[in-house]
Amino acid sequence: MSRKRTENGSESGPATSHVPVDRFGFLKQEHANSPERFSKSKTTSSTDHDREERKVRKWRKMIGVGGSDWKHYVRRKPNVVRRRIRKGIPDCLRGLVWQLISGSRDLLLMNPGVYEQLVIYETSASELDIIRDISRTFPSHVFFQKRHGPGQRSLYNVLKAYSVYDRDVGYVQGMGFIAGLLLLYMSEEDAFWLLVALLKGAVHAPMEGLYHAGLPLVQQYLFQLESLVKELIPKLGEHFTQEMINPSMYASQWFITVFSYSFPFPLALRIWDVFLSEGVKIVFKVGLALLKYCQDELVKLPFEKLIHALKTFPEDAMNPDTLLPLAYSIKVSKRLEELTLEYQKTNAKPVQP
Amino acid sequence: MGDLGKGYKLVFLGDQGVGKTSIITCFMYGKFDTSYQATIGIDFLSKTTRYEDRTFRLQLWDTAGQERFKSLVPSYIRDSSVAVIVYDVASKQSFINTSKWIEEVRAERGSYVIIVLVGNKTDLVNKRQVSIEEGENKAREFGALFMETSAKAGFNIKPLFCKITSALQGNEAVSWTKQEDLVDVNLKPLMFSSQANHQQESNCSC
C-alpha cells in the first residue's frame, strides 16, 4: 500500500490490490463512488488523452517547479487561474495545487516539526472516538480498508494531531471524511496543515464553527440554504414546506463533510478544487444546482420518497460536466452576506457579564 | 397514509458506534454490513411491517451519536412516537450515557413517547461490561421497554421491532420486560439479501 511522491510533491494514489478498483481506488461494486459511470466509453480515446496531457503541461507551467511560480501567476492572471480551477485540476497535480490554493504549504513551512510533536508526544481526549470511526471512514476505498493498515494509521494520526492542536474543537465525526480525502492526495503532514488551513481560515472564512459545540456554523448554513431554496427555487421551497422537509434532513452532510461523505468521488474532487479556491459558497451553489436540476421530479414526491430522493440523486444530476456549470451560474455571494447578518441578528446570544 | 397503514416515527439515539445504524440495516435488509460509513447528521429509512393483521408504516430516523451532534436531534425527537436508545453492552460508558439521552427525550416529549432501551452487541460475550440486570433495572427506573440485541448475529432484531409495534398498538404496557421473556427468531447468521428494497415489507412472526 505504499504511495510514491510525484515530482511535484503530491502523492500518487494508493497502490491497487487484487480487488477490482476504479481509478481512484474505490471498490468497483461500490459504484456510487465510481467515476467510470460518467465516462461514455470505458476506454479513454487518444484525443482525450492528448487533451489531458496539454492540460497538465499548462498547469505545470503555471505552478512552476514545486509551486515556485504559483503566487506570481495568481497575481498576474487571477481570472485564468479561476477558470482553470473550475475546469478541474489535473489529478496528478491535485495534491500540490490544493496545498498552494489553501495556504497550507505556507503553514507547513512556518511550523517545522510541529506535526511530529503533536502525533508522537501529545495525548488526546478524543483518541477512543477517533479509533471508533477509523474503519467507518471511506470503508470502500482500498487505502482505508485494511485494519491498522497505513491508511487507517495515517487517518488516525492526522485526526489525533488536530484534536490536540485545537482542543476546543477536538475530534468531530465528519472530519474523518475531509482528512481521508486529503490523505489520498498528500502526505500526513501536508493533510494535517491543510485541515488547519481550512478550519482556522488561512485563506477563506474559518470552518471550525462547523464543529464547535452546538454546530453553530452548520445551523447558520442550513438557515441560509433554506432561505435560498425559497427564493431561487420557490416551487420546490413551497413543496418542502408542505411536506415539512427542512435542510437538516438532507444537507447537514453537505456542509459538515463538503460533499465528501456520499457524493460520487469525481464530483467531490471537482467541488473541492473550487471549494479550496473560492470558499464555502460553492457548497451552496452545488446544493442549489442539484435541487434546481431535479426540481421537476422532486415537487411530485411525497415526504418519504422525497427524503429518499434527496439522499440519492440520479446519475445524470451527479455528472460534474452537467452540474458544475449550472452551479457556477447561480449567484449567491451578496445574498449569503445578507442572510449571515440576518441569522446573527436573530440568533445573537447575550454577552456574558 | 392510505392503505399503507398508520405511520409512526422512530428516532434512534445513543452514543457513537453503539450500533444504531447496524440495527436499522439488519431490520431493513436482513444483513449486517461490515463496511458502512459513520452516520453524519441524520439518515432516514422507512419500512412497512405487519403485526397482528395490522399494517404499520415505520419511519426510522438514524442519528449521529457524538455529543457534538446533539443540537441537530431535538427537532427529530419532538414529534416521534418511539425513541430507541441504544448502548453497547461492551461499553459501560455508553450505558451510563443512556440516562442523558432518556432525559433529553423526556424533556422534549414528556410521557407522550415510548422509550425502548436496547443493549446491542451481545455477541461480544467476553467483553461484556453491562449485565442484563443492569439494563432491565435502568429501563424499569425510566419506565422504558428493554431488550438486548446483536445486529451482527441477527439476534432479537425482529422481536425488537415486534415489541415496538405491539407497544404502538397498545398491546404492551410501556414498562420493562425481562430478557428471558423474549424469543430469538434467528440465532443463525443472517442471510445476505441483495434484493432488499428500502421500502420492503416484512412480517413480524413473533
Q: Are residues A338 and A224 in the same domain?
A: yes
Total number of domains in chain A: 3
Read off the pLDDT of each residue in A251-268 and give the average, rounded to a whole number: 95
Q: Are residues A174 and A153 in the same domain?
A: yes
Report pLDDT for A65.
86
Confidence grade of residue A81 (pLDDT, cut at 50, 70, 90): very high
Question: Which structural domain range is residue A115 located in?
Answer: 93-204
Residue B67, exposed/middle/buried by CB under 10 A (0-12, 13-18, 19+)? middle
- In this predicted model, which residue has the larger pLDDT, B50 or A34? B50
Optimal mutation site among B1, B11, B37, interface A, most CBs of chain A within 10 A: B37
A210 lies in a domain?
no
> pLDDT tens across B26-45, in order?
999 998 977 778 999 988 99
Q: Are residues A81 and A98 in the same domain?
A: no
Residues of chain A with Cβ-Cβ distance to B192 below 8 Å are: none
Give the containing element (helix H, strand E) for B199: none
Question: Which structural domain range is residue B19 located in?
Answer: 6-176
Q: Are residues A229 and A314 in the same domain?
A: yes
B200 lies in a domain?
no
The whole-chain average pLDDT of chain A stands at 87
Nearest to A252 among B17, B41, B46 (CB): B41
d(CA A189, CA B172): 57
Report pLDDT for B194.
34
Whether B124 shows a pLDDT value over 70: the answer reads yes
B40 lies in a domain?
yes
Total number of domains in chain B: 1
Whether A16 shows a pLDDT value over 70: the answer reads no
Residue B155 maps to which CATH number?
Answer: 3.40.50.300
Annotated binding site of B for GTP: 14-21, 62-66, 120-123, 150-151
Q: In Å, how far is B106's CA from the nearest CA of chain A? A: 20
Q: In Å, how far is B183's CA from the nearest CA of chain A? A: 31
Whether A19 shows a pLDDT value over 80: the answer reads no
- In this predicted model, which residue has the larger pLDDT, A66 or B190? A66
A49 lies in a domain?
no
d(CA A281, CA A333): 7
Report pLDDT for A49.
77
Contact of B202 with chain A, judged by CB distance below 8 Å, is answered with no
Report pLDDT for A61.
83
> pLDDT tens across A188-227, in order?
999 999 999 999 999 999 999 999 999 999 999 999 999 9
Q: Are residues A246 and A288 in the same domain?
A: yes
Whether B130 shows a pLDDT value over 70: the answer reads yes
Beta bridge partners of B120: B88
Give the containing element (helix H, strand E) for A85: helix A78-87
Q: Are residues A268 and A323 in the same domain?
A: yes
Whether B206 shows a pLDDT value over 80: the answer reads no
Verify whether the Cβ–Cβ distance B41 to A253 is below 8 Å: yes
Q: Are residues A226 and A302 in the same domain?
A: yes
B197 lies in a domain?
no
Residues of chain A with Cβ-Cβ distance to B75 below 8 Å are: 246, 248
Q: Are residues A192 and A281 in the same domain?
A: no
Nearest to B71 among A133, A215, A246 (CB): A215
Report pLDDT for B188.
38
Verify whether the Cβ–Cβ distance B72 to A215 is below 8 Å: yes
What is the residue type of B7? G
Confidence grade of residue A128 (pLDDT, cut at 50, 70, 90): confident
**Helix segments in chain B, DSSP class H:** 20-29, 74-78, 92-96, 98-109, 132-142, 157-169
Beta-carbon contacts of B22 under 8 Å, excluding residues fewer than 6 positions away, are: B32, B33, B36, B120, B151, B152
Whether A14 shows a pLDDT value over 90: the answer reads no
Three-point CA angle A38, A42, A44, nearest 5°:
95
Contact of B43 with chain A, judged by CB distance below 8 Å, is answered with yes
Q: Are residues A127 and A248 in the same domain?
A: no
Optimal mutation site among A249, A265, A301, interface B, most CBs of chain B within 10 A: A249
Verify whether the Cβ–Cβ distance B37 to A261 is below 8 Å: yes
| Lowest pLDDT segment from A4-18, A95-109, A335-349, B166-180 | A4-18
B193 lies in a domain?
no
Domain end residue (candidates: A204, A229, A252): A204
d(CA B147, CA B159): 9
A27 lies in a domain?
no
Residue of chain A whose alpha carbon sits nearest to that of B61: A249
Residue A188 maps to which CATH number?
Answer: 1.10.8.270
> pLDDT tens across A111-126, in order?
999 998 899 988 899 9
Cell of A194: 491543510
- The CA distances from residue A277 to A2, A86, A94, in Å, are 29, 9, 12
A8 lies in a domain?
no
- In this predicted model, which residue has the larger pLDDT, A154 or B7? A154
Confidence grade of residue A349 (pLDDT, cut at 50, 70, 90): low
Contact of B194 with chain A, judged by CB distance below 8 Å, is answered with no
Residue of chain A whose alpha carbon sits nearest to that of B43: A249
Q: Are residues A135 and A234 in the same domain?
A: no
Chain A residues whose C-beta sits inside 8 Å of any chain B C-beta: 129, 132-133, 136-140, 145, 172-174, 176-177, 211, 213-215, 218-219, 246, 248-249, 252-253, 256-257, 261-262, 304, 307-308, 311
> pLDDT tens across A225-237, in order?
999 999 999 989 9
- Residue A5 has phi, psi (to 5 degrees) of -80, 140
Q: Are residues A129 and A233 in the same domain?
A: no
B149 lies in a domain?
yes
Q: How many residues does chain A have?
A: 353
Read off the pLDDT of each residue in B182-198 and give the average, rounded to a whole number: 37
Residues of chain B with Cβ-Cβ distance to A137 below 8 Å are: 37-38
B160 lies in a domain?
yes
Verify whether the Cβ–Cβ distance A176 to B59 is below 8 Å: no
Residue pair B21/B28 in contact (Cβ under 8 Å)? The answer is no
Report pLDDT for B100.
84
The whole-chain average pLDDT of chain B stands at 81
Report pLDDT for A48.
78
B187 lies in a domain?
no
Whether B201 shows a pLDDT value over 70: the answer reads no
B199 lies in a domain?
no
Nearest to A129 among B59, B66, B199 (CB): B66
Verify whether the Cβ–Cβ distance A308 to B44 is below 8 Å: yes
Optimal mutation site among B10, B35, B75, interface A, most CBs of chain A within 10 A: B35
Domain end residue (candidates: A43, A65, A87): A87
Report pLDDT for B42.
86
Q: In Å, how far is A312's CA from the nearest CA of chain B? A: 12
| Lowest pLDDT segment from A7-11, A82-86, B51-55, B75-79 | A7-11
What is the residue type of A277? S
- Quick count: other Cβ atoms within 10 Å of Cβ A15? 12
Read off the pLDDT of each residue in B5-28 and give the average, rounded to a whole number: 91
A66 lies in a domain?
yes
Tell me what percent of the residues of chain A surpass a pLDDT of 90. 64
- In this predicted model, which residue has the larger pLDDT, A344 or A183? A183
Q: Are residues A134 and A101 in the same domain?
A: yes
> pLDDT tens across A32-62, in order?
444 444 444 445 577 877 878 888 988 988 8
Read off the pLDDT of each residue in B82-86 and give the average, rounded to a whole number: 97
A259 lies in a domain?
yes
d(CA A284, CA A221): 8
d(CA B64, CA A157): 23
What is the residue type of A101? I
Verify whether the Cβ–Cβ distance B68 to A172 is below 8 Å: yes
Residue B85 DSSP one-character state: E
Read off the pLDDT of each residue in B116-128 and give the average, rounded to a whole number: 95
d(CA B127, CA B98): 19
Backbone torsion region of residue B68, taken as left when φ is above 0, otherwise alpha when ψ lies between -120 and 50, otherwise beta: alpha
